[in-house]
Amino acid sequence: MGNTSDYQSAQLTVLQEIVSPAPLVALLLLLLASVGGVGLRLWRTQRRRQAQAEREASASKSSLQALISHEVRTPLTAIARLIELSLEDKADESSRRALQRAAWHATTSLQVLLDDLITQSRLDHNQLNLHPVPCELAGFLEEIRQIYRPIVESRQLALQFETHLQVPVVIIDPLRFRQILQNLLANAVKYTHEGGISLYVATEAAQAGQCRIHVELRDSGIGMPPALRAELDQPFQPAGESRRQQYGGHGLGLFLCRQLIRKMRGEMRVDSQPGDGTTIQLNFTVAVGKLDERVPCTVPTECLTGLNILLVEDELANRTLLERDLAQLGISVTSCADGVEALRLWIKQPFDVVLVDWHLPGMNGPAMARIIRRIERRRASAHQTIIGMTTGSAQIRTGVLFDAGLEKPVLPQVLTQTLRRCLPDPSNREPLNLQVLRKLIRGDAVFGRQFLGAARESVQADLLVLCKGYAAPDTTLLAETLHHLQGVTRLMCNDLITARCIALEKAVLEQDSARIKALLPHVKQDLRTVCLALQTCPHALSETSPAEPQTNKS
């Protein structure tokens, strides 16, 4: 019995030692120390990696800033020097044109770079939205060909554009599509020294109103090895450091093209081998457009001649360029630099179009357009055509305030097309203001025939003088006749005819032979139309004019 009791007592002692808290605490502390040591080592490793990443990011940022600064400074310096040389007295006309052409090429290169940087910034911040509209591809591609043809020919290369457009009109963002094609063409020009560049664009109808677009650009340039092609998925990798030093470039173009194509739910494929040139293929799907979806360009370009436009632009360089582009269309331009002055001018005299910048000192473009619309409603006056201009930081929504929007810098072709789309077709407008004539005649048929007959004879006489005065030429006689005509046209004709007479008189006084030559045929045709309308007008007035109340004098 004693032995059994001692055995049980020993077992209890061992069990108490095993479950004693002291070893458990020690074990727990040991585990915590081990885990803490591991955690500390992991934290230190993470901190070292983070510091290394920060150093690499800082170095990359500094390298990028240096690269972009170089890419901006180089063309700016060249542009300044080229302009300086072209202004020298010893430069002959041929040399001056060559210098101006070189400056234009440098400016185009700089503009592409800045556009790419802005677009990449928007993509990085998820702020880039596509704005698809109906686009006629044939005309769109011809504009791009006209831009790059002189650039390619100046390098003695061949440029071939080929299209196979089963679907002529598609719904696409033309600004981004143009940016993609310009980047691809710019790269092809940069890395091609002999041979040529070809661009092939095809559209093919798909199911449910969709259209597949295939773009293929080939060049006979230096090509690139597979290792460099793999770097195209990273921005600011200009096909290798050695190539960047030799050819320049910021390495953003192809990366940006790939991002934009992905944004359009498409794909881009690059095939290239050293010495064998490069082939780039784009494939994406868009909606099919219809011809009647587009706002029709009903107004012929020649009908823009004689328009009166109010231009509101605070940047002197942009204002000067727009004034020149509009003047070359035979358009009379009144310009100012702020919205308050523009409103004063608009209230003082009528304009066919108001062309206004979005950002203006004092009163911006939308605020000015809002006031004009408010005055229109209060006066129940005719709708004023307002076209807004923006650098793209603000999207112009057409509708209530603006009839159209233009992306700056405004290209002459785009400006012309926008004006044609926004203006009513003058061929559909009555040459005479019948409402005013009815007020003048007041139902007196005899007086109406006499008045309209005298007006017709006066216009015919002025038309004859214009023909003789221009043949002579006699600027004084032309100016006096046009000034006299304005009295008649202001009284009874539509605004376009009056505006053309004003513009022609201004051109005569300034002895601008080019504008006189452009405007005179339109003014003569307008006057012939007015004469014909005056001949048939009494019958039209008698049909529609209300009877005057008779006064009984008996």
Encode pLDDT of 377-394 as tens digits.
Answer: 888 777 889 999 987 545
526 vs 344: which has the higher pLDDT: 344
| Nearest-angstrom CA–CA distance, 74 and 333 | 36
- pLDDT of amino acid 471: 61
> What average pLDDT does this structure show over 230-238?
59
**Mean pLDDT within 290-316:** 68
* pLDDT above 60: residue 99: yes
Position of tokens 């990443």? Answer: 53
Q: Which residue has the higher pLDDT, 90 or 198?
A: 198
At residue 155, what are phi and psi to the nearest 5 degrees? -100, 10
Measured distance CA(87)–CA(81) in Å, rounded: 10
536-543 contacts, C-beta under 8 A, 24 or more apart: 537/432, 537/434, 537/437, 537/452, 538/445, 538/448, 538/449, 538/452, 540/434, 541/434, 541/437, 541/438, 541/441, 541/448, 542/445, 542/448
| DSSP-derived 3-state class of residue 66 | helix
Lowest mean per-residue pLDDT among 126-130, 542-546, 550-554: 550-554
Query: Which one is predicted more confidently, 172 or 393?
Result: 172
370 CB-contact burial (10 Å; exposed 0-12 / middle 13-18 / buried 19+): middle
DSSP at 390: E
pLDDT for the residue 248: 53
Return the percentage of the chain with pLDDT > 90, whole number.
Answer: 18
CA–CA distance, 228 with 233 (Å, rounded to integer): 10
pLDDT confidence of residue 103: 80
What local confidence, expressed as pLDDT, does residue 536 receive?
Answer: 76
Residue 235, strand partner residues: none
Residue 296 has pLDDT above 50, yes or no: no
Q: Which of 520, 522, 530 is nearest to 492 (CA)?
A: 530
pLDDT at 553 (0 to 100): 37
| Predicted model pTM | 0.55
The answer to which of 56-65, 133-142, 530-539 has the lowest mean pLDDT is 56-65
Which structural domains are found in the chain, ordered by start? 54-127 (1.10.287.130), 133-293 (3.30.565.10), 301-418 (3.40.50.2300), 434-544 (1.20.120)
Rounded CA separation 177/165 (Å): 16
What's the pLDDT at 463?
A: 84
Structure tokens at 163: 């299209």
Tell me which of 195 and 21 has the higher pLDDT.
195
Sign of the CA dihedral running 65, 69, 70, 75: positive
The H or E element that residue 199 is part of is: strand 196-205
128-158 per-position pLDDT tens digit: 888 787 888 888 888 788 888 888 888 899 9
pLDDT at 476: 80
DSSP β-bridge partners for residue 405: 388
Residue 407 has pLDDT above 80, yes or no: no
Q: Are 186 and 219 in contact (CB under 8 A)?
A: no
Is 157 strand, coil or helix?
coil
Q: What does the pLDDT read at residue 381? A: 75
Taking residues 490-498, what's their average pLDDT?
74
Q: Could you report the per-residue pLDDT of 435-450, keeping only the tens digit for each?
A: 777 777 777 778 878 8
Which segment of 29-33, 336-340, 493-497 scores lowest on mean pLDDT? 29-33
Residue 228 pLDDT > 90: no
| pLDDT surpassing 60 at residue 552 | no
What pLDDT was estimated at residue 336?
94
Q: For residue 36, what are its two tokens?
A: 């803490």
Alpha helices per DSSP H over 221-295: 226-230, 241-247, 253-263
H/E stretch holding 218 reads: strand 210-219
